[in-house]
């Protein structure tokens, strides 16, 4: 599965080339290549293509880039490694193929990481998302001592056992790009692969955004309004789940995805409130539990839909 | 005899689990084989990140035939009982059973079951899948298409292949055929993930190890450790450096590689400005690399570190070393950032005035700011014991009380106590909690605190266990005692005492710490007083009662453990602790109790008693006193009347008059000596009793016919017991 891109689009020269190479690699494998989800999320896992599709018996293979927002990690554009908005490349394969590790290593090879030149290691890292009621076992994948990906076998999502288990790969795109481009500051990444006047850097694209959002996240976000948004999203999520479940027997659930959107919103609002420092240690736990409660209900409802395997008999043996 | 080779190959097993898992595998398989009637000569386990391997030598090829006799019910038993017997004995008809006669019970059935031996491979094929299914991983997972169904196999990470061969050295071994979780056993494995991805067929352990080695896998973890250590030392030496050894890290790193290749990485000299411990921990925790010193440097680190790669890279490891250097640099930049932040003003300085006043803090100083912040944020220590700020207030108060007792300046003690927990608010301690205390000391020194204040911030956590160093500087001693006593009294007040093996707040360690500090520094400390000092602010406004007696007896238990470890006789400790228990007067009972709350005095008494009992006088007095005590106990049991006091008028014999005089004298002298805390003198005074006691028992019949005389003589024996009881309860001494 060799990927042919013009030289300036090679991952060692361009950020977008890295993304395109991964797209092509995983498209060739048979994944549906999706676009980012259009809501603010803290990680690629929140995309319904992962959270919800990891549930139920139906096979599902997808790959996509997901902008991830971590309001607390903002550094006003002053830290060469930390961003409040960055990209994750997410691959979800259900059930996980037995050669998932080899597939992953193949993707590194595709972006120019030679395993006989670089020291690639799978170092224990158990993944857990308290808000999603999810956990799995796997590794941090190290390249010459740097963590470049997360590799997880999902065991539980939304508090529900995964049957079958899905394998999730999450590439930290900026880190990986900094590595293959040999750059020490994220803002120096070559974005488009051109040189001279035509060159566009990561900083050209995102530096101003990092500065502005850091101001917003830490100083200006209206906490009273956000608290209300949290309550509203929570209420809406539950109302939609209830309305969608109110159906003639034998019909699938009618409104899981819109309800799950509200769960995502509640989670992001919680992250913003957390960055503003208005949530005390004791309250923190209760907010996490409230989001988890929503995700659990969404997951249970999703199993009552066609995509979640409602009425699914399975493939002919 | 045949050998068994078993390899369970999986995706990367967490380093910290490998050693135990391999041991569990050996134990479970070996136990299972023995239980099935096989024997073996030797078994050894091996592991790498990707495999657990077991080498069993000299396994018997078959289990023995077994003849078993099973006794059944009486021939007259109801049909049901007979049917049950047939089932359990595996017979189809009662005609297959024999009948035996018992003279008392009559005729009954007996079944002779002969179990033929089984071939070892059959036993193995049954045993291994069962071991795999029941394997005790601390955390395990499901995977792949099979995980769609309930009851699918669990393993630590996906299990990929199983090698299981069996056979004698002289023959081609066979594959023991079985299947577990969709994986069929065979004789094929794989070498190094990148260097040797091709399949390898193996026969038995010898060629298996050799072929793996050729495929760049060192099977033996201890050999990998030796290679890493030797190569790291050599590489360091060749570069004018010295490896800073770290056994825990070595163990972990040896579990991360199958083919260790040691390389040297580098970071900028500037980073060496931060404390060596911070550099070491940063590089160790995040990058799993070793730090080095320039040769002949005692403490300072060099700017080069040693990493262990898993491949022989095409470029000799240049890229790997360069990449690791970059990551180490980024991590150290974070550490420098933390180090600088910790010495700069906190962002919420304006909010800290009230807390600063409460603790007499100087907000111009960074560590003072951190303490003010710890208080201001209301960080919880324990839900029922208030905030860290409240705790520091209590410790400071108690440290002031204790300071004069241990010879510390109360002002310095109070200052040290107030700063002792401030580093919990520093970034570096947030990142590396194990540096608590050590960082506080460094920051205190940087802001010009008195040297003993700075030292006390680190040392007040000591001793951390039986072998840790005990603080000796008076200021450190005061804070260390105050900190531990506050903890113990607090958790006793809220009834969170250790139970069985559970001691989540490390209270046993705290009590041992108090004991070691007091005894090894020769500190006289009345524990009961300190308990009540410590308890006052904790109990404030609460309807709690501090179980002082219970806490004291906890200390006594820990003291016994401590003294026993020091080689003291267990019975002597009991005897000393029980001293005074036979005193009749309640007021004297209290005296006895309070003297038991001075740990140093208890230890001195045990020492004096031990010496005394080694002497001839001691041994004889012990015998005489025990005799007196035994007679008294027997008569007390019979409810024989014992006079309340000795009536000198009723003393008829010369011998008993002499004894009475000697007891009066010894009791008085011993009492005086104890007042003066001179236990040897007390023992000496008691030893004067030896001769009159011996003569008394030779010449005088305690059980006199005259009831009044008898009661009086028993009272005299009671006085002997009481006199010795001032020092120790002799009845508890063995021998």
ipTM: 0.93
Instruction: Identify the CATH number of the domain in which residue A266 sits.
Output: 1.20.58.180
How confident is the prediction for chain B on average, in pLDDT? 90
Instruction: Identify the CATH number of the domain in which residue A18 sits.
Output: 3.30.930.10
DSSP state of B386: E
Report CB contact under 8 Å: A144, B324. Answer: yes
Which of A81, A123, A138 is closest, CB to CB, to B256? A123
- Spell out which residues of chain A touch residue B11, defining contact as CB-CB under 8 Å: 101, 122
Question: Looking at A217, A241, A258, which one is the last position of a domain?
Answer: A217
SS3 B101: strand
Instruction: Identify whether B580 is part of a domain.
Output: no
A226 and A148 in a single domain? The answer is no
Distance CA B713, CA B698 (A): 14
What's the domain count of chain B? 5
Q: Which domain holds residue B145?
A: 3-62+119-214
Instruction: Identify whether B512 is part of a domain.
Output: yes
- Spell out which residues of chain A touch residue B142, defining contact as CB-CB under 8 Å: 153, 155, 164-165
B184 and B321 in a single domain? The answer is no
Report CB contact under 8 Å: B147, A143. Answer: no
- What is the chain A residue with the closest CA to B182? A98
B102 and B127 in a single domain? The answer is no
Q: Strand B199-201 vs strand B106-115: parallel, antiparallel, or unpaired? A: unpaired
Q: At A205, phi and psi to the nearest 5?
A: -80, -40
Q: Flag whether residue A57 sits within 8 Å of chain B, measured between CB atoms.
A: yes
- What is the chain A residue with the closest CA to B285? A145
- Is the CA virtual torsion B439, B440, B443, B445 positive or negative? negative
Q: What is the pLDDT of residue B541?
A: 63
Number of A:B CB contacts under 8 A? 105
Instruction: Identify whether A294 is part of a domain.
Output: yes
Convert the pLDDT of each residue in B346-388 to its tens digit: 888 888 999 999 999 999 999 999 999 999 988 888 878 888 9
Percent of chain B's residues with pLDDT above 90: 54
Distance from A183 to chain B by nearest Cα, in Å?
10
Q: What is the pLDDT of residue A187?
A: 97
Q: What is the pLDDT of residue A2?
A: 56
B167 and B246 in a single domain? The answer is no
User: Virtual CA dihedral for B562, B568, B574, B579, nearest 10 degrees?
Assistant: -110
Question: Looking at A155, A188, A217, which one is the last position of a domain?
Answer: A217
**pLDDT (average), residues B251-264:** 97
- Residues near B475 by Cβ (< 8 Å), separated by ≥ 6? B403, B408, B409, B412, B413, B416, B452, B453, B455, B456
At residue B573 the predicted structure's pLDDT band, cuts being 50, 70 and 90, is confident
Which of A95, A119, A162 is closest, CB to CB, to B309? A119
Distance CA B46, CA B29 (A): 14
Question: Looking at A217, A239, A263, which one is the last position of a domain?
Answer: A217
Distance CA B186, CA B6 (A): 10
Q: What is the pLDDT of residue A185?
A: 92
Instruction: Identify whether B109 is part of a domain.
Output: yes
Q: What is the pLDDT of residue B580?
A: 65
pTM of the model: 0.78
**pLDDT (average), residues B590-618:** 78
Report CB contact under 8 Å: B139, A126. Answer: yes
Cis peptide before B137 (omega within 30 of 0): no
- Spell out which residues of chain B touch residue A162, defining contact as CB-CB under 8 Å: 147
What's the domain count of chain A? 2
B517 and B637 in a single domain? The answer is no
Q: What is the pLDDT of residue B543?
A: 59
Instruction: Identify whether A53 is part of a domain.
Output: yes
Question: How far are the Cα atoms of B332, B357, B389, B417, B534 from residue B395, in angstroms, in the given order?
Answer: 35, 17, 10, 6, 8
- What is the chain B residue with the closest CA to A106? B194
**pLDDT (average), residues B289-305:** 91
Distance CA A192, CA A169 (A): 25
Distance CA A168, CA A166 (A): 6
Q: Which domain holds residue A232?
A: 222-308
Instruction: Identify whether A314 is part of a domain.
Output: no
- Residues near B225 by Cβ (< 8 Å), separated by ≥ 6? B250, B251, B254
B23 and B99 in a single domain? The answer is no
B144 and B175 in a single domain? The answer is yes
- Spell out which residues of chain A touch residue B336, defining contact as CB-CB under 8 Å: none
- Spell out which residues of chain A touch residue B150, defining contact as CB-CB under 8 Å: 163
Distance from B436 to chain A by nearest Cα, in Å?
21
B484 and B632 in a single domain? The answer is no
Instruction: Identify whether B574 is part of a domain.
Output: no
B250 and B322 in a single domain? The answer is yes
Using a CB cutoff of 8 Å and minimum separation of 24, what contacts does A306-310 make? A306/A252, A307/A52, A307/A53, A307/A56, A307/A58, A308/A52, A308/A55, A308/A56, A308/A58, A308/A256, A309/A55, A309/A56, A309/A57, A309/A58, A310/A252, A310/A253
Report CB contact under 8 Å: B315, A117. Answer: yes
B710 and B641 in a single domain? The answer is yes
A135 and A228 in a single domain? The answer is no
Report CB contact under 8 Å: A98, B144. Answer: yes
A120 and A255 in a single domain? The answer is no
- What is the chain A residue with the closest CA to B12? A122
Instruction: Identify whether B725 is part of a domain.
Output: yes
Which of B144, B313, B323 is closest, CB to CB, to A164? B144
**pLDDT (average), residues B671-685:** 86
- Spell out which residues of chain B touch residue A146, defining contact as CB-CB under 8 Å: 323, 326-327
A61 and A173 in a single domain? The answer is yes
Which of B141, B322, B326 is closest, CB to CB, to A153? B141
Report CB contact under 8 Å: A144, B327. Answer: yes
Q: Is the pLDDT of residue A283 over 80?
A: no
């Amino acid at each position: 599965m060799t990927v042919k891109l013009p030289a300036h689009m090679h991952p060692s020269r361009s950020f977008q080339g890295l993304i395109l190479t991964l797209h092509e690699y995983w498209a060739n494998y048979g994944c549906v290549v999706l676009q980012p989800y259009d809501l603010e999320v803290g990680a690629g896992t929140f995309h319904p293509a992962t959270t919800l599709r990891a549930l139920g018996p139906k096979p599902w293979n997808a790959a996509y880039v997901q902008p991830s927002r971590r309001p607390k990690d903002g550094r006003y554009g002053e830290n060469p490694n930390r961003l409040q908005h960055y990209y994750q490349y997410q691959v979800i394969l259900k059930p996980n193929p037995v050669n998932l590790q080899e597939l992953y290593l193949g993707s590194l090879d595709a972006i120019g990481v030679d395993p006989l030149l670089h020291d690639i290691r799978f170092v224990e890292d158990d993944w857990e998302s308290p808000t999603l009621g999810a956990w799995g076992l796997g590794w941090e994948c190290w390249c010459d001592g740097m963590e470049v990906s997360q590799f997880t076998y999902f065991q539980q999502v939304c508090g529900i056992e995964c049957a079958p288990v899905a394998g999730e790969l999450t590439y930290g795109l900026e880190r990986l790009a900094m590595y293959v481009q040999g750059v020490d500051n994220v803002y120096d990444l070559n974005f488009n692969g051109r040189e001279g006047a035509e060159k566009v850097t990561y900083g050209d694209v995102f530096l101003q955004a990092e500065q502005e959002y850091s101001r917003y996240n830490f100083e200006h976000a209206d906490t009273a309004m956000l608290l209300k948004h949290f309550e509203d999203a929570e209420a809406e999520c539950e109302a939609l789940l209830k309305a969608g479940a109110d159906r003639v027997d034998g019909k699938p659930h009618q409104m899981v995805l819109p309800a799950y959107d509200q769960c995502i919103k509640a989670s992001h609002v919680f992250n913003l409130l957390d960055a503003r420092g208005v949530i005390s240690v004791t309250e923190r736990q209760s907010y996490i539990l409230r989001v988890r409660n929503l995700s659990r209900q969404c997951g249970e409802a999703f199993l009552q839909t066609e995509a979640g395997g409602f009425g699914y008999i399975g493939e002919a043996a | 005899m045949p050998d068994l080779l078993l390899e369970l190959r999986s995706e990367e097993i967490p380093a910290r689990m490998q050693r135990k898992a391999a041991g569990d595998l050996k134990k479970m398989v070996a136990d299972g084989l023995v239980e099935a009637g096989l024997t073996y000569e030797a078994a050894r386990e091996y592991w790498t990140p990707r495999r657990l391997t077991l080498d069993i030598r000299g396994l018997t090829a078959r289990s023995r035939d077994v003849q078993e006799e099973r006794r059944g019910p009486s021939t007259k038993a109801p049909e049901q009982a007979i049917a049950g017997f047939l089932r359990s004995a595996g017979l189809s008809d009662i005609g297959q059973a024999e009948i035996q006669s018992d003279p008392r019970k009559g005729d009954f059935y007996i079944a002779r079951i002969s179990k033929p031996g089984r071939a070892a491979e059959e036993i193995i094929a049954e045993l291994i899948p069962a071991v795999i299914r029941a394997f005790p991983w601390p955390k395990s997972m499901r995977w792949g298409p099979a995980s769609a169904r309930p009851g699918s196999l669990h393993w630590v990470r996906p299990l990929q292949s199983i090698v299981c061969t069996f056979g004698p050295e002289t023959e081609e071994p066979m594959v023991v055929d079985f299947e577990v979780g969709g994986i069929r056993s065979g004789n094929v494995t794989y070498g190094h993930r990148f260097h040797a991805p091709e399949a390898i067929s193996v026969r038995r352990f010898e060629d298996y190890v050799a072929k793996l080695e050729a495929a760049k896998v060192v099977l033996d973890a201890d050999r990998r450790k030796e290679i890493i250590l030797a190569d790291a030392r050599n590489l360091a030496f060749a570069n004018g450096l010295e490896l800073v050894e770290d056994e825990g890290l070595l163990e972990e790193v040896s579990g991360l590689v199958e083919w260790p290749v040691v390389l040297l990485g580098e970071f900028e000299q500037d980073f060496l400005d931060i404390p060596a411990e911070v550099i070491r921990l940063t590089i160790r925790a995040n990058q799993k690399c070793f730090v080095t010193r320039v040769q002949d440097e005692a403490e300072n680190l060099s700017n080069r570190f040693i990493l262990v790669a898993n491949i022989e890279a095409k470029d000799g490891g240049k890229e790997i070393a360069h990449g690791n250097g970059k990551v180490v640099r980024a991590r150290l930049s974070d550490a420098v950032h933390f180090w600088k932040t910790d010495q700069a003003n906190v962002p919420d300085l304006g909010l800290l005035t009230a807390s600063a006043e409460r603790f007499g803090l100087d907000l111009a100083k960074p560590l003072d700011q951190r303490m003010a912040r710890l208080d201001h944020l209301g960080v919880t220590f324990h839900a029922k014991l208030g905030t860290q700020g409240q705790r520091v207030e209590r410790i400071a108060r108690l440290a002031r009380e204790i300071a004069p007792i241990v010879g510390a300046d109360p002002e310095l003690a109070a200052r040290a106590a107030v700063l002792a927990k401030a580093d919990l608010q520093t970034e570096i301690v947030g990142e590396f909690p194990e540096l608590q205390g050590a960082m506080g000391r460094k920051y205190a020194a940087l802001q010009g605190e008195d040297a003993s204040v700075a030292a006390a911030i680190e040392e007040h956590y000591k001793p951390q266990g039986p072998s840790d160093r005990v603080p000796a500087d008076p200021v450190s001693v005061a804070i260390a005692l105050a900190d531990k006593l506050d903890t113990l009294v607090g958790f006793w007040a809220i009834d969170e005492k250790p139970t069985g093996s559970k001691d989540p707040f490390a209270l046993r360690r705290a009590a041992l710490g108090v004991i070691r500090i007091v005894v090894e520094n020769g500190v006289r400390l009345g524990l009961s007083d300190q308990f009540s000092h410590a308890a006052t602010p904790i109990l404030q406004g609460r309807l709690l009662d501090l179980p002082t007696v219970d806490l004291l007896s906890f200390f006594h238990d820990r003291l016994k453990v401590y003294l026993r470890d020091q080689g003291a006789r267990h019975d002597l400790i009991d005897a000393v602790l029980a001293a005074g228990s036979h005193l009749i007067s309640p007021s004297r009972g209290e005296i006895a109790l309070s003297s038991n709350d001075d740990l140093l005095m208890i230890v001195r008494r045990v020492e004096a008693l031990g010496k005394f009992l080694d002497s001839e006088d001691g041994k004889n007095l012990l015998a005489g006193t025990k005799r007196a005590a035994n007679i008294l106990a027997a008569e007390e049991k019979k409810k024989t009347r014992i006079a309340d006091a000795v009536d000198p008028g009723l003393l008829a014999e010369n011998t008993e008059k002499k004894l009475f005089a000697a007891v009066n004298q010894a009791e008085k002298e011993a009492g005086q000596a104890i007042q003066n805390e001179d236990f040897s003198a007390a023992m000496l005074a008691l030893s004067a009793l030896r001769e009159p006691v011996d003569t008394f028992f030779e010449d005088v019949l305690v059980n006199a016919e005259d009831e009044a005389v008898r009661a009086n003589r028993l009272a005299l024996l009671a006085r002997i017991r009481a006199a010795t009881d001032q020092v120790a309860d002799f009845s508890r001494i063995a021998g």
